[in-house]
């Protein structure tokens, strides 16, 4: 028996072994999204769950998603729709776990909402914090050294914003500055076509009018409504003091 | 401390016998352990309770099985019905239900109750068993078994008035039996140690 035959025989045996093990398979960009519409319908989620139950608990030979993939499918099914600061309706998963900050300068607001473990949700961000506010970046770096490992996705200011890099990070949500809406128009379209929602907020263009609204809408999508209300109230109280003085 | 003293006195009065203070402390400790374990087991836990319209169905009759779901918005359930019993149908959405021999699969997406109907054989019995899985929290558990026994037509007629509706059974979770057992052993052990002196 020559080497080629042996190799083919080995591959064949290996394939048979894998089939006999009835390995669960992974599929699609959003797992379980059978019609590729970037949404998980009730029927798709149900199909995924029942297949998983049949495979895992009844030993049936069916294709199913792996445990983590099934979790993603379930997570993407449950969504909420909010209106962002650009007046757009944005639908996001109720459990947002992966966020790209289109502007890393939003670290302040994001950390205020998310608390101590805020870095766990940031899967990518713009390069602005390190470029334009090195002192803040270094202060955060001292306490949260893991921010050094957050992938950067370029910068809207420098026209280096990398939409493909964001898509590869598979975020649940991209938070963008309203001030950059026009510059980010093409990127926004591409992201939304890839099933990634984009939320515009504003802390700079019209801060007196939009800061509290932005905090509240971020609180909604991040599941931190109570915290957002507290921050908004505190902000309002401080602003009142400034106005009165 | 004040409460402990009161407890000690309380036992003296109602018991009419002298009980050592050590016993009071053990009782308090046991209570604390029990409350602690019970509260951690209940918090945020998925509960699925099965109720049968009867656990003594008449031969060849249909009866209903209801699953009450709480603590989760999404779950998968596998119900196994005893050999000889036949699955008839469910009011649960068709796209969220599947049957394979004696196993019935349900996906729960926001529902809190599932009812399905089963036909009893001419004789025999067995246990309804079930398993659930919560894909969001990646937790699983078992639904407490429910035993059924088929009544013959004759005995059912003669004992019709004694036919009772099945009581819902407390769910079991793979996380809690161990803790409950440890708690029980601890409580029994401590009580035994205490009572040893009497």
- Residue A16 pLDDT > 60: no
Q: Mean of the pLDDT values across residues A221-233? A: 96
C-alpha pair distances (Å), A118 with each of A196, A212, B24, B27 = 20, 20, 47, 44
B71 touching A (Cβ < 8 Å): no
Q: Do B74 and A49 touch (CB under 8 A)?
A: yes
SS3 at position A62? coil
Give me the pLDDT at residue A245, please. 82
Give me the pLDDT at residue B178, please. 52
Q: Which residues pair with B109 in a beta bridge?
A: B74
Q: Do B135 and A52 touch (CB under 8 A)?
A: yes
Q: Mean of the pLDDT values across residues B154-170? A: 48
Residues B179, B173: Cα–Cα separation, whole Å: 11
Each residue of B79-135: pLDDT tens digit?
999 999 999 999 999 999 999 999 999 999 999 999 999 999 999 999 999 999 999
What is the average pLDDT value for chain A, to the nearest integer?
90
Residues B116, B78: Cα–Cα separation, whole Å: 13
Each residue of A186-220: pLDDT tens digit?
999 999 999 999 999 999 999 999 999 999 999 99
Residues B52, B169: Cα–Cα separation, whole Å: 10
Q: Which residues contact B40 (CB under 8 A, 6 or more apart)?
A: B179
Give me the pLDDT at residue A179, please. 95
Question: Which residues of chain A lie closer than 8 angstroms to B103, CB-CB?
Answer: 58
- Residue A99 pLDDT > 50: yes
* Model confidence band, residue B161 (pLDDT cutoffs 50, 70, 90): very low
Residues B136, B120: Cα–Cα separation, whole Å: 36
User: Between B139 and A15, where is the model more confident?
Assistant: B139
Give me the pLDDT at residue B25, please. 57
What is the average pLDDT value for chain B, to the nearest integer?
76
- Residue A139 pLDDT > 80: yes
* Model confidence band, residue A7 (pLDDT cutoffs 50, 70, 90): confident
Q: Which residue of B has its CA nearest to A54?
A: B105
Give me the pLDDT at residue A27, please. 38
Q: Mean of the pLDDT values across residues A76-97? A: 95
* Model confidence band, residue A131 (pLDDT cutoffs 50, 70, 90): very high
Out of A2-6, A163-167, B16-20, B172-176, the most confident range is A163-167
Q: Which residue of A has its CA nearest to B133?
A: A53
Give me the pLDDT at residue B181, please. 59
- Residue A228 pLDDT > 70: yes
Q: Do B135 and A74 touch (CB under 8 A)?
A: yes
Give me the pLDDT at residue B39, please. 40
Cite the residue boundaries of each domain of chain A with CATH code 3.40.50.1980: 78-244
**Complete domains list, chain B, with CATH:** 2-43+178-195 (no CATH), 47-171 (2.60.40.740)
User: Between A11 and A205, where is the model more confident?
Assistant: A205
Residues B45, B47: Cα–Cα separation, whole Å: 6
Q: Mean of the pLDDT values across residues B40-53? A: 77
Interface of A with B (CB under 8 A): 42-43, 45-47, 49-50, 52-54, 56-58, 60, 67, 70-71, 73-75, 77-78, 95
- Residue A100 pLDDT > 90: yes
Q: Which of B98, B131, B136 lies at the smallest CB-CB distance from A74?
A: B136
Question: CA-CA-CA-CA torsion for A167, A168, A169, A172, nearest 10 degrees?
Answer: 40
Whole-number percent of chain A with pLDDT over 90 = 81
CATH tag, A78-244: 3.40.50.1980
User: Between A184 and A19, where is the model more confident?
Assistant: A184
Mutate to test the interface with A, among B100, B135, B143 (most CBs of A within 10 A): B135
Each residue of B66-76: pLDDT tens digit?
999 999 999 99
Each residue of A25-79: pLDDT tens digit?
433 378 888 888 888 999 999 999 999 999 999 999 999 999 999 999 999 999 9
Q: Do the Cβ atoms of A111 and A117 come closer than 8 Å?
A: no
Residues A147, A121: Cα–Cα separation, whole Å: 11
Give me the pLDDT at residue A205, please. 92
Q: Which residues contact A25 (CB under 8 A, 6 or more apart)?
A: A63, A64, A65
Q: Do A58 and B100 touch (CB under 8 A)?
A: yes
pTM over 0.80: no
C-alpha pair distances (Å), B164 with each of A150, B53, B55, B160, B185 = 63, 9, 8, 9, 34
| Cα–Cα nearest to B107, from B127, B126, B90 | B90
Residue in the structure block whose two tokens are 């009011």: B91
B78 touching A (Cβ < 8 Å): yes
Q: Mean of the pLDDT values across residues A130-138? A: 95
For A34-43, A113-122, B101-110, B185-194, which range has the lowest pLDDT when averaged over its residues? B185-194
Residue in the structure block whose two tokens are 């046991």: B30
């Amino acid at each position: 028996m020559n080497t080629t035959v042996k190799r083919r025989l080995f591959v064949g045996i290996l394939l048979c072994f894998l089939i006999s093990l009835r390995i669960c398979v992974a599929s699609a960009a959003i797992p379980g999204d059978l019609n590729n519409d970037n949404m998980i319908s009730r029927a798709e989620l149900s199909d995924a769950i029942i297949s998983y139950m049949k495979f895992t608990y009844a030993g049936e030979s069916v294709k199913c998603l792996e445990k983590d993939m099934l979790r993603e499918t379930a997570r993407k099914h449950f969504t909420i729709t909010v209106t962002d600061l650009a007046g757009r309706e944005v639908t996001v998963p109720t459990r947002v776990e992966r966020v790209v900050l289109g502007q890393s300068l939003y670290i302040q607001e994001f950390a205020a909402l998310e608390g101590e473990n805020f870095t766990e949700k940031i899967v990518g961000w713009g390069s602005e914090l390190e470029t334009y506010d090195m002192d803040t970046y270094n202060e955060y770096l001292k306490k949260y050294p893991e921010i050094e490992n957050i992938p950067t996705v370029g910068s809207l200011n420098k026209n280096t914003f990398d939409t493909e890099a964001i898509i590869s990070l598979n975020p649940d949500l991209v938070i963008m500055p309203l001030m950059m809406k026009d510059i980010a128009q093409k990127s926004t379209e591409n992201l939304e076509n890839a099933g990634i929602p984009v939320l515009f907020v504003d802390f700079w263009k019209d801060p007196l009018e939009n800061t509290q609204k932005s905090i509240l809408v971020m609180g909604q999508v991040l599941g931190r409504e109570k915290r957002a209300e507290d921050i908004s109230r505190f902000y309002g109280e401080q602003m009142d003091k400034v106005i009165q003085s | 401390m004040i409460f402990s003293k009161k407890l000690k006195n309380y036992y003296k009065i109602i018991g009419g016998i002298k009980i050592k203070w050590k016993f009071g402390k053990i009782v308090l400790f046991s209570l604390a352990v029990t409350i602690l374990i019970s509260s951690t087991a209940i918090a945020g836990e998925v509960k699925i309770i099965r109720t049968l319209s009867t656990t003594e169905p008449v031969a060849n009759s249909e009866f209903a099985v209801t699953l009450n779901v709480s603590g989760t918005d999404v779950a998968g359930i596998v119900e196994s019905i005893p050999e000889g019993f036949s699955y008839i149908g469910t009011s649960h959405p068709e796209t969220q239900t599947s049957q394979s021999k004696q196993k019935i699969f349900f996906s729960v997406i926001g529902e809190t109750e599932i009812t399905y109907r089963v036909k009893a054989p001419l004789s025999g019995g067995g246990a309804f068993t079930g398993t659930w899985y919560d894909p969001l929290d990646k937790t699983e558990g078992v639904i407490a078994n429910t035993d059924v026994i088929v009544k013959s037509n004759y005995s059912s007629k003669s004992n019709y008035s004694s036919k009772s509706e099945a009581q819902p059974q407390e769910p079991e979770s793979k996380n809690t039996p161990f803790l409950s057992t440890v708690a029980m052993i601890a409580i029994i052990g401590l009580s035994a140690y205490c009572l040893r002196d009497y």
